[in-house]
Every structure is written in C-alpha cells, then in structure tokens.
Amino acid sequence: MNTTAQQIKRIQDKLQQLLKAHAALQKENRRLKEELATATAKISGNQQQVEELKQQVSVLKVSAGSMNEADKKELEKRINGYLKEIDRCIALLGE
C-alpha cells in the first residue's frame, strides 16, 4: 500500500509541475504574440515610410532633371497607372 501511495504522490507532483509549466508556456505564448503584433505593425509602418521616401526621391529626381531613361520610363508608367485608376474612379462616380 505504501508504494501505491508514493506512486500516486509522485504522479500528483509531476502533474502539478506540468500544470505550472503549461501555465508558464501559455503566458510566454501570449507575450510572444504581443511582440509579434508589435513587430508586424512596426514593419508595416516602415514599409509605408520606405514607399513614401521612394516617391519623394522620384519627385526630387524629376525636379532636379537628373533622371536617366529607365527612371523616366518607370515614372511615366507609374503616372499612366495613376491616370487609369483616376479615370476608373471617375467612371464609377458617374454611374
């Protein structure tokens, strides 16, 4: 009988340890998810800032007149894309 009681006690102790470890892992998981969300938001903001800076560089190149042919064609494509999108929006508003 004594060995059975000892085995049950050992099992209970191990179960308690597992429950504590599980709770600690859940807490760490929540913390890591929060960190991930923060990092994702920061990356998104940085990507948006990079795009804005790229646009500013393009504008500065145009205003300085120091664009090569490839840059000019890329700018022309971008402007044409914007114009098509504006025309599509105007058409949708006209309906």
How remote is the C-alpha of 62 from its chain's centroid? 32
Residues 72 and 93 occupy one common structural domain: yes
Give how many domains the chain has, as a whole number: 2
Residues 55 and 10 occupy one common structural domain: yes
| Contacting residues for 75 by C-beta, under 8 A, at least 6 apart | 58, 62, 67
Between CA 40 and CA 53 the distance in angstroms is 20
Q: For 8-46, what is each residue's pLDDT tens digit?
A: 999 999 999 999 999 999 999 999 999 999 999 999 999
The yes-or-no verdict on residue 1 having pLDDT over 70 is no
Q: How confident is the model at residue 59 (pLDDT cuts 50, 70, 90)?
A: confident
The encoded tokens of residue 64 equal 């300085």
Residues 60 and 72 occupy one common structural domain: no
Residues 45 and 20 occupy one common structural domain: yes
Q: Which domain holds residue 85?
A: 67-95
pTM value surpassing 0.75: no
Helix axes 2-64, 69-94, angle to 10 degrees: 100
In the chain, beta strands by DSSP E: none
Q: For 66-84, what is each residue's pLDDT tens digit?
A: 777 887 788 788 889 989 9
Residues 71 and 48 occupy one common structural domain: no
